Chain A
Amino acid sequence: MSAAPLVEISHVAKSYRRGVQIVPVLTDITLEIGEGDFIALMGPSGSGKSTLLNLIAGIDRPDSGELRVDGLDITRLPEAALAEWRAANVGFIFQFYNLMPVLTAFENIELPLVLTHLTRRERRERVGLALEMVSLADRMHHYPSELSGGQQQRVAIARALITDPTLIVADEPTGDLDRASAEEVLSMMQRLNMELGKTIIMVTHDAHAAGAAKAIVHLEKGELIDGKFR
């Protein structure tokens, strides 16, 4: 792939407070992810895989360590700057789609573009392209409640793509889908990775879903099993 890794995680640790107890979730994680990689993070429940994903996506902060994305140490960014960084650099795919129920498919996909300076027409063009890519152009004016699980996830994928982000993070993207829809979503993600060169980091407990990725990283009790990976 490319010379410098896209994501550099160095000695990152994170724990949560549960009442008076401090529960460590991640201990001394060091990992590199290259541009164009498609990684699956696997592990039993409580292994810290979702937490690691949250840290990479910039929606949580580590207690110690550094996290660089495309050279920028995001752990140093103040809240508002981090939000701006996310808007430009991260695309999210959630297990339960997390679409706005009051917005149509089109508007849901358009939502991240609201934070940019594009004109209405420019936004409309981009959304049109994204809809094409996920084959949902005929349903663009439907509300999430009118779409199946698989279709909602495809809308979410389109939304994740729309700002042309550096990274796409997916947390159990097929967790709520039936077999056929899951296949559809996974193959769409593979296309994004192969054809558009998108770097994807996916958390899953489903071995079959993990098989769609190019590489698997295992976590157990907050530690990487395979050690440093490249």
Chain B
Amino acid sequence: MYLLKLIARNALRHKLRTILTVVGLTIAVLAYGLLNTVVDAWYAGAAAASNARLVTRNAISLVFALPLSYESRIRGVDGVTLVARSNWFGGIYREPKNFFAQFAVSDNYLDLYPELVLPAQQRSDYLRDRKGCLVGRQLANQFGFKVGDVIPIKGTIYPGTWEFVVRGILDGRDETTITRQLLFHWEYLNETVRKKTPRQADQVGVYVFGVSNPDDAAAISRSVDSVFKNSLAETLTETEQAFQLGFVAMSNQIIAAIRVVSYVVIVIIMAVMANAMAMSARERTVEYATLKALGFGPAFLALLVFGESIAICAIGGSLGILATPPAASLFKQATGGVFPIFNVSVETIELQAACTLAIGLAAAIVPALHAARVRIVEGLRAIG
């Protein structure tokens, strides 16, 4: 159709301008996609969380532990299936910038996390070695850990230099599973601490437990907390997802700022695009007037402008979308351990496409109106 022919050729008329605009769009859509992915990454813990797992922590804050004696009492609550212990270890591997999560966990912890896949042989090796540890696949890849390696960790909360022997590599069942972590025996932590800093012994960071019916989670949470109300260490129990979202909420202002900035970049490129389209439209006033004289209506002219804007945006936007996954890979490598999960989601791509369309439409509104409203006689007299 003539309309498409005219649109395509008009877009290629000012090659330099079109190339610059496309480059700008690519960069803007790419930046938007990356920023969106950064926000998603922040929520990775919550996304990987299960509603069938609950977390009990000290009601004052995570800085306070819970007594070991709580374990059997939690297990005694109706609906609770399996109770595991987890202490955040927070140690340093060689340098602070090599940060990764380390947890001292009870042996039944793995039963609560079926998404962490471990070969049976490795599992029994781990259970047999009290100084053994399990490392996630991502961690193993980053630092080259292999089964049998000894990993030295400098303790911060639990002072001293600790050594763990890698007995197994944990694989994630899907790409949302976090495999950038190290697990070791809670018993080993406890017995070592009892000798060195006894006041830290028999303390559990959080209890993680399963429930027979996830729909009862809220009621079971309340039951568990009521058991310990008015005791020395009051508890706060919530689903694992709520627990993870709690961490996200602590950085909510940064996340909000990043979100705002991701849309600012879209607005910036919208201004650039609007400017480019306005200039093109102004330069073609004589042509629009001629087309009108020949009998083409305002709708045709408006479509000409919208079509060109959307076509250019589609090219730039597509390039930006295509560039996002590789850029995300690079970004992940560059930032090391900060984001254990950094995947470009389908939703991000959808949003990128929507923004591209919005830019194409918004940038064309004023020039399209101008073209449609050209008065033939004045338009013919205009200087291009």
Contacts and interface: CB of A to CB of B under 8 A. Distances in A.
Whether chains A and B associate is: yes
Given A86-B293, A98-B287, A59 B6 contact: no
Interface residues of A, number: 23
Interface of A: 54, 57, 59-60, 80, 83-84, 86-88, 92, 94, 96, 98, 100-103, 107, 111-112, 114-115
Given A54-B377, A103-B6, A103-B9, A98 B286 contact: yes
Contacts of A87: 294-296
Interface string B1-23: 01001100110010000000000
A87 B295 CA distance: 5
B295 A83 contact: yes
Name the 7 nearest CB pairs between A and B, nearest first.
A87-B295, A102-B9, A59-B376, A98-B290, A114-B2, A86-B295, A83-B295
5 contacts: A80-B297, A86-B295, A98-B287, A111-B2, A114-B2
Interface of B: 2, 5-6, 9-10, 13, 286-287, 290-297, 376-377, 380
Nearest to A111: B294
Contacts of A83: 292, 295-297
Contact of A92 (B294, B296, B297, B377): B294
Contacts of B291: 100
A60 B375 CA distance: 9
B interface SS class: helix
Contacts of A100: 6, 287, 290-291
Given A86-B294, A98-B286, 18 more contacts: A54-B377, A57-B293, A59-B377, A60-B377, A83-B292, A83-B295, A83-B297, A86-B295, A87-B294, A94-B290, A98-B287, A98-B380, A100-B287, A100-B290, A101-B13, A112-B294, A115-B294, A115-B295
B291 to A, nearest CB: 8
In this complex, which of A87, A96, A114, A115 has the most chain B Cβ atoms within 10 angstroms of its Cβ?
Answer: A114
A101 B290 CA distance: 12
Nearest to B13: A102
B10 A102 contact: yes
A220 B114 CA distance: 96
A83 B292 CA distance: 7
Contacts of B296: 83, 87, 115
A11 to B, nearest CB: 21
* Residue of B5, B287, B377 with highest tally of chain A CB at under 10 A: B377
Contacts of B286: 96, 98
Contacts of A60: 376-377
Nearest to A83: B295
Nearest to B287: A100
Contacts of B292: 59, 83
Contacts of B380: 59, 94, 98
Contacts of A103: 5-6, 9
A86 B376 CA distance: 12
Contacts of A114: 2
A21 B62 CA distance: 80
Contacts of A107: 5
Contacts of A98: 286-287, 290, 380
B103 to A, nearest CB: 65
Contacts of A57: 293
B293 A59 contact: yes
Contacts of B13: 101-102
A112 B2 CA distance: 11
A112 B293 contact: no
A172 B292 CA distance: 20
Contacts of A96: 286
Nearest to A171: B380
